[in-house]
Structure 1
Amino acid sequence: MTEIDFEKLNGLVPAIIQDAITHKVLMLGFMNKEAYEKTLESKKVTFWSRTRNCLWTKGETSGNYLNVVSIKNDCDNDTLLIMVHPQGPTCHKGTDTCWGEDNNANPLLFLTELQDFIEKRHEEMPEGSYTTSLFKDGLNRMAQKVGEEALEAVIEATNGEDSRLIYESADMFYHLIVLLTSKGLRIEDIAKELQVRHDPNWHKHD
């Protein structure tokens, strides 16, 4: 990390705290060099309290710690962005964020998490994994599984129950991500294509 400029604000830098999964901004605090170093050492966010003139680790009394995932310095080297996994609500008033927002993850974000997991399976190919077995079976088998699961989803949509439609659609999405991964692609590539098509000036390919 580039050297942090603690001198601009008389020894302090603002630290923006963001949930690593939901990407919600949870709070803003200030760190001096000692608080920053303790945060690095403990992997729990520690601030400098401007009212009490002392260090304080978020959660030391409530148990609602902010577990550090990553720390980034901004372009001017005077503001930190800290990604965390929060334990419980962040605000002292009991809300998830200091702006009173609910810190709920959008379920769509899990598709990226699943994509990352499947890519890791593709890289490591652990024995006993169903995903590994799909990769080993080859492209034709993976494509066949996508077709089979898509057909199951169609059957449930026309003659089944909504819960079964969701179940079979989940199977279809999973096998599609496996297929995409085998081709060096990601589920986000499909999202980008849909985003392009959403433009009113988009025209279907010939």
Structure 2
Amino acid sequence: MNLDELKFDANGLIPAVVQDETTREVLTVAYMNEESLRKSLETRETWFYSRSRQELWHKGATSGNTQKIVEMRYDCDGDSLVVLVDPAGPACHTGAVSCFSENLLERSVERDSAELSDSRMDPSADQLASLSNSESSLNRTADQFASLSDFAVMLQLEKTISKREQEMPEGAYTTYLFEKGVDKILKKVGEEASEVIIAAKNRDPEELKWEAADLLYHLMVLLQEQKLPLKEVLAVLNKRKKPSAEE
């Protein structure tokens, strides 16, 4: 990255969109000045400039939720950055994985639908088509945000399993599995996989979702026992992904 190609604003700042390198979820949007950008490049961890405090800050310096930089890109105009990171914890001070956890799109769809229902005039065909297309687009985007939010459950589960292995609390089922060792864990993975097959053969979606959840849990316990991060598995899937015709 050539800093001479970047365009900082009148305050000497440039916006940085921070994304999870594996999931591509937008974690936060912050600002960098030249000094924080250089520190980010040197340390390979995110440094930003706080506009409210008028000072540099190192993400995770106090919380431990640092962000290891995997890649940094700048746009065609050179006036904004995308920072791909491997986060060590939540990006938001609230404890959420992403600072963008609130979804206004669903509310917008509900408001548009309510306005249409309350209208005293019969809508024209063009108005109906426009609203239908708008709702369809908003719902697709809302579904994308929901899928990223749902994925956060997997990351949280991975952290919980890791904590169980470290602390081994008495009476916890995860503790029991780690105490019994890899053979027991493998046996459970096999049993749960069989239960998934049976539920699928029986065309029982209610049973299938519970058995699939049990399989995922035991598989993640196995990954922890093998010291294989979930992100490495997801990275393999990401590499296998073929670009669509539109791309």
TM-score range, shorter chain: 0.5 to 0.7
TM-score, structure 1 as length reference: 0.54
Q: Does 1:138 align with 2:181?
A: yes
Return 5+ residue gaps in structure 1 as ranges.
1-7, 42-68, 200-206
Inter-partner Cα distance in structure 2 for 1:90 and 1:30: 27
AA matched with 2:25: H
Distance 1:25-1:116 versus aligned 2 partners, 3 A rule: closer
Q: What RMSD over aligned residues (CA atoms) do the two structures have, in Å?
A: 4.7
Inter-partner Cα distance in structure 2 for 1:12 and 1:171: 51
- Which of 19, 23, 26 is the aligned partner of 1:24? 26
Q: Who is 1:187 aligned against?
A: 230
Corresponding pairs, count: 160
Distance 1:176-1:79 versus aligned 2 partners, 3 A rule: same
TM-score, structure 2 as length reference: 0.46
Inter-partner Cα distance in structure 2 for 1:39 and 1:129: 45
* CA deviation profile, 1:118-139 (whole Å, cap 9, x unmatched): 2222222223322122111211
Return 5+ residue gaps in structure 2 as ranges.
1-7, 34-48, 58-64, 84-90, 93-98, 110-137, 243-247
Q: Who is 2:121 aligned against?
A: none
Distance 1:174-1:148 versus aligned 2 partners, 3 A rule: same
Inter-partner Cα distance in structure 1 for 2:232 and 2:66: 26
How far did residue 111 of structure 1 move? 2.7
Q: Does 1:112 align with 2:155?
A: yes
Inter-partner Cα distance in structure 2 for 1:169 and 1:118: 18
- Which of 157, 172, 190 is the aligned partner of 1:129? 172
Q: Secondary structure at the match of 1:126?
A: coil
* CA deviation profile, 1:15-74 (whole Å, cap 9, x unmatched): 44658898237767799x773427999xxxxxxxxxxxxxxxxxxxxxxxxxxx768997
AA matched with 1:127: E
How far did residue 86 of structure 1 move? 4.5
How far did residue 115 of structure 1 move? 2.1
Q: Who is 1:35 aligned against?
A: 51
Distance 1:90-1:157 versus aligned 2 partners, 3 A rule: closer
